[in-house]
Structure 1
Amino acid sequence: MSFPLRPLLFAFDAERAHALTLRALAIRGRLPYPATKANPRLATRIGALTFTNPIGVAAGLDKDGVAIAGLFGLGFGAVEIGTLTPLPQAGNPRPRLFRLVADHAVVNRMGFNNSGLEAGLARVRAADRRGGRLGINVGANKDAADRIADYVAGVTAAAPLADYVTINISSPNTPGLRDLQHGQALADLLAACTAARGTTPLFLKIAPDLDAGAIDGIVRAAIDNRIDAIVMGNTTVSRPALRSPHADQTGGLSGAPLAALARQRLDDVRRAGGGRIALIAAGGIDSGAEAYARIRAGARLVQLYSALVFEGPALPRRILADLDACLVRDGFADVAAASAA
C-alpha cells in the first residue's frame, strides 16, 4: 500500500524528499492533534524503562532531532534521533541516498552527516515528547583521533536528556567504524561508555554483516558491561538479488530485501544472549506481521525507517492495529509475553 503524496515526493531526488518530509513533520509537531489512546496489550519494557508501544523510529531518519514531536504524533512509542557526533559533520559527497523502488529498498552512504551534539541536544531540550520515549544515538566523527573518546563525549552529553542512549558502531559508511565491534576495542568502548552513562539505559547497535562467532563475542561483551539492549541491526553491505536501478551503488542497503538477513541475525543474538539482554529489531520491517514475527523471535521493540519511504506516515498506526490483532489471535496478554514465548 502506497500513500497519496508518494508520487510528488518521488519527483524529487531522495535526499531532497527526505528533507521536505522532515520539514513537514516539524510543522505538524507544532500543531494540536488527538492523543493516542494507550493499549495495555501493546506496552513493553526494557529494564525499568516502559514504552507505550513497541514501534520505534530508527536512527538516521531524524538525524538532528528536528521533527521529534511530529514523529511521536504518527503513533510511535519511541523516537531515536541521530546519529549525533561531537562535532558537526557534512558527511559523504552527494548523491549519497538512492531509492530502489522496485525492491522497496534504499541504499545510502550518508556518512554520519549531522549538525553535531550541541545543536542536536538543544533541539532535544526544546522538544515536546508527547509521552513517548526518546533515544539519542551517538557516534564518532570520521576524522576523530580517539573514537572511543568521541563516544564517551556523546554518552556523557546525551544521557541526562535521553530516555536511552544508543552507541552506534554499525554504520558501514564511516571507514573503520565497524572495527569497534570486535575484541579489545569493543571491550574498551563499552567499559568507557558504561562509566559515562550514569543511570540512563545504554543500548548497542550492531551490524547485520556479522557471523555467529562475532555475535557471540559482542553479546558477551555487552552483558559483561551491563548494556541494557542490543539493536540488531543497521544496513547491509551485502547485495541479495535486486531489480532496481542504483542496486550497484556503494553504501548500506535497507528495506524489504534486508528482512531475511535481519531475522537470522536477530535469532543469532537471541541464542547468544540466552535471555540475559533485551533485543531490539530493525531491518526490513514493513507490516504488522513482520513486526510480530520479530517480537516472537525475541525483540521487545522494533524500529522502522525505509518502509516509511514507501508506505507513508500511516504505517505506524497500521502496524500497531495489525500487531494488536496478532496478539489477540494468539492469546498473548502483551508484547512481553509474545516476546518471551
Structure 2
Amino acid sequence: MSSAIRGVIAGTGGYLPARSVSNDELAVEKNLDTTDAWIVERTGIRRRHFAAEGETASSMGAAACRAALAQAGASAADVDAVIVATATPDSAFPSTAARIQGALGVTRGFAFDLSAACTGFIYALSVADAMIRIGQARGVLVVGAEVYSRILDWSDRGTCVLFGDGAGAVFLRAEPGSARGLLSTHLHSDGRHGDILQVDGGAGSTGGTGVVRMAGREVFKHAVTKLASAVDEALAANGLGHDDVAWLVPHQANIRIIEAMGRKLHLGLDRVVVTVDRHANTSAASIPLALAEATRDGRIKPGELVLMEAIGGGLTWGAALARF
C-alpha cells in the first residue's frame, strides 16, 4: 500500500432551514405565473427550504460543520483550516469561513472563502485535498453554504423557482497510506460563457448585490457535454470504468441533467443520490448536503467509490472521485 497522504472524508453534515416551501405555496406567495406541474416537469423540484430572518451562510455552515465533526469523532482542536464555497457570503469581509471558524471555536490554522458558483464545493474539495497531500493541513472542514433566496428576482419564474437555501460540510482528515479518500479532482472553467449564468451586480461593479440571471437552454447544452467530459476524465485518470462507480452524487440543478449523467455512467436512479426534488438547487451546498443524507441513511457504505460532479456560473465545472 502506498504511503502517500490522502484526504479521507471522515464526517459529513448538513443543515436545512426549518421552512420548507412547496411549488404551489411559492406560486401563491410570490404571485408567480406558474404551477406545480410546470415546475416538476421541467426541473424535478417539488419543494425548497428558505432561510429565516437572521439565518446566514455562516450560521448554516457552522451547523453543518458541527454535524460533520461529530460524525468524524473530531473537535475544533482537530481543525487546521476552514474552506467555504459560497456565492452568498455574509459580507465582503470578514470571510464566511472566518465567521464559521469563530463560531466553532477554532483558534488555530486559517480560513477563507472560494467563489466558483455551483461548482464551488468541488473546487474547495480539491484545494483542501492538495493542502493535506503536501502536509499544510491535517484536518480541513470543506463547506458549501448558500442563501440564494436573497439574490433571486421573484418576477422571473425561469430562475426564482429553481433555488433553495442550505449548507453542507465534510471533514477531511489526513490518512497516510489509506486506500480510502479522495483519489483525484478535476477542475475546469471557461470565462467566455460567463454571461449565460451570472449574478448581475456586486460591490465592485454596481455597488449592490444583484440577482441571478440565466439563459437556461444554453446552460443545459453546456452542462451535459462538459459534465460527461469531466466524468470520463476522472475515471480515466484512475484507470477505472463506469462499472466501478457505486454512487453518483451530482450537483442538484435539474432532474433532466441528473438523469442524463446517470445514463452516461450506466447507473439507474437507484444508484444516484437525488435531493433536487426536496432541496431544489442549493448551489455549492447541494453536493455536501446530498453526501450527508446518503452517508447518514446508510446508502453510501465504506469502501464504495463515489463520483461527484457539478457545473456552475463562470462557466465552471469539475468532478471528484472518492472512496469512502
**Same-fold call, TM cutoff 0.5:** no
Q: Which has the higher strand share?
A: 2
What TM-score do you get using the length of structure 1 for normalisation? 0.30
Q: Could you tell me the TM-score, scaled by structure 2's length?
A: 0.31
Greater RCO, CA 8 A, separation 6+: 2
